[in-house]
Amino acid sequence: MSDNQNSLECNTICWGIAAGVGVVAMVMLYMVADFSALQAIFTGGLIGFLLGIVLSLFICRGQKAASDLHSDEKPAQRYAREAAEDKARRTGSGGASAPAAGGSATAAAASAAGGAAATASTTPSSAFQMQDSAPLAGQKDLSDRKGDWKYDSGQDASPAKAAAKPAAKSAAKPAAKAKPAKEAKTKRAPAAADGKPELFTSPSEGAADDLKLISGVGPKLEQTLNEMGIWYFKQVAGWRKKEIAWVDDRLRFKGRIERDDWISQAKILAKGGETEFSKRKKK
């Protein structure tokens, strides 16, 4: 009860101070600030009201918290005690005894229920006991026939059968493909003593090849080669050193055959292939 009295006294003091400040504010606003009477009363009352709320919140609540810290009784215990005192004042002595009796009866019933539950949990029910399952249909017949079969690995087979297996495997394999015989290389005729290559007076195997597809051979040089009897790529591709020298001596520009590599180009063109120069030339 002392805490409630202290709180009430604190709130009374705070609101008294706020009311005094509000009255002073009314007077000052009316006399100094030239407020009208109604404006001064409203403004002063508002100032006093706000000040009272602030003082009660900060001063009285802080004072109550400090008292709670210094008191030996814990806040939870104090709040429970105050609630019990308020309830006792409202209901009286008779009303207080009835709930107490009801509470004791409830506690007794709860303890009895807990004991019964514990007993039920420790005593296994007969409904949940494990029972042997009924034998399946044909189970006895299957157990009687165990061990009647025997695995035959085939190791004790007759020697004739064992010899027949490799023969069957060898017969199943396809016959090895016969390797084609190597084509006999045609030997080239030896070069002439003076190095003169094979020449034709005119195209003997159809139309002449376009020798201008060889890099370094222009229209004039192609005409010169045709006059010499050179019409095909295969003729140029088969030249040897003596034959290159023989043709080179009869050309206007010496060393062009080896410098432009006519032989390699002619070999590709004679097989139907294309060189970089021949591709650009045909565009």
Confidence of residue 210 (pLDDT cuts 50, 70, 90): very high
Q: Which of 1-15, 56-70, 100-114, 122-136 has the lowest mean pLDDT?
A: 100-114
Confidence of residue 283 (pLDDT cuts 50, 70, 90): confident
Our CA angle for 234, 239, 244, nearest 5°, is 135
Nearest in space to 6 (alpha carbons), one of 53, 49, 65: 65
Mean pLDDT for all residues in the chain: 74
pLDDT at 238: 92
Mean of the pLDDT values across residues 9-17?
A: 88
User: How many other C-beta atoms lie within 10 A of the C-beta of residue 221?
Assistant: 17
Alpha-carbon distance values, 274 to 148, 264, 265, 269, 278 (Å): 79, 11, 9, 6, 6
pLDDT digits (tens, 9 = 90+) for 138-179: 677 777 766 555 655 555 445 555 555 555 455 445 544 555
- Burial label for 114, CB within 10 Å (0-12, 13-18, 19+), is exposed
